[in-house]
Amino acid sequence: MSEAVATYDPAVDAPGHHHAVFDYDSGPPVDRGKFAIWLFLATEVMFFTGLIGTYLVIRMGAEHWPNPANRLAVDITAFNTFVLIISSWTVVRALHAIQSGDKGGLVRWLGLSILLGSFFVGIQVFEYFQLVAHGSTPNQDLFWSTFYAMTGFHGLHVVVGVIWLLVLWVGALRGKYTAENYLRIELGGLYWHFVDLVWVLLFTLVYLM
């Protein structure tokens, strides 16, 4: 809640006057960093909602829609999805480590999260190369157009997340974070969890339905 602070004004609080001037803190009732990341994630939710909504409209309007299992490597991508989910857990472990004052644990868990996220991106890039090599390009039909749009935009978000975690990891190596100063780790984790959640939804819609 906004906090009112009474201040002294010589022009008003002279003898015979009993007035106080109040300065109000109009900031949000949460930490500004958390408020900013939640506001940013809200815009990301709107972006992916529009993207997914467009995909569903196109798919429902198509007379025939290919079975994803006949075009995509569902098993490999399912394993890749599991890797990304595990990376969310390792990010949680990193946050818990620094909250406990374990700087070494923070470095290890963040490093593992970066490796898992990089592995996910690598598998997705490999999948793209294989698909293009077999002639499955975005301009072939609506299935491939929507597939590359959905997974491509998400892939870019994962790359941003990996870079974000890498920056945090470098800071952790330098001992920048402590049990009293870990907000940046928490904010990076919020973004990473959002990216993971979006992928679970995309994997279900694009690969399994």
DSSP-derived letter for residue 127 is H
Q: Are 162 and 168 in contact (CB under 8 A)?
A: no
Tell me which of 188 and 22 has the higher pLDDT: 188
Amino acid 33: pLDDT: 79
Q: What is the pLDDT of residues 41-77, one digit of tens each?
A: 999 999 999 999 999 999 999 889 999 999 999 999 9
Q: What is the pLDDT of residues 111-152, one digit of tens each?
A: 999 999 999 999 999 999 999 999 999 999 999 999 999 999
Residue 12 has pLDDT above 80, yes or no: no
Q: What is the pLDDT of residues 173-183, one digit of tens each?
A: 999 999 999 99
Amino acid 114: pLDDT: 98
Residues contacting 106, CB < 8 A, separation 6+: 94, 97, 98, 172, 177, 185
Residue 21 has pLDDT above 90, yes or no: no
**CATH architecture of the domain formed by 31-208:** Up-down Bundle (1.20)
Residue 17 has pLDDT above 60, yes or no: no
Q: Are 106 and 90 in contact (CB under 8 A)?
A: no
Q: Whole-prediction pTM value?
A: 0.84
Tell me which of 17 and 112 has the higher pLDDT: 112
